[in-house]
Amino acid sequence: MTADPGLLNDHLQRLAQRSTCPVCIKIEFFNGFICMERALSPDTDKAGKT
């Protein structure tokens, strides 16, 4: 699954409309991005068992 830059831009624009805080936008966006990376990572089992 590859991320579509257009969809990412649309997602960021929606976040920007909902919140004017850039930090909040970055945190929310990167949380989603990190979750995607973790799901695609071969180390998912290690990450899930802490």
Per-domain residue ranges of the chain: 5-42
Q: pLDDT per residue over 5-40, tens digit each?
A: 777 777 767 766 665 555 655 666 666 666 556 666
Model pLDDT, residue 48? 53
Please state, in angstroms and as integers, the Cα–Cα distance from residue 25 to each residue in 40, 47, 48, 49, following that order: 23, 25, 25, 28
| Cα separation, 27 vs 8, whole angstroms | 14
14-21, long-range: CB within 8 Å, 24+ apart, which pairs? Answer: none
Pick from 43, 17, 39: nearest CA to 28: 17
pLDDT at 23: 61
Q: Between residues 46 and 6, which one has the greater pLDDT?
A: 6
| pLDDT, position 6 | 78
The pLDDT assigned to 38 comes to: 66
Give the pLDDT score at 9.
76
Distance from C-alpha of 45 to C-alpha of 39, rounded to nearest angstrom: 10
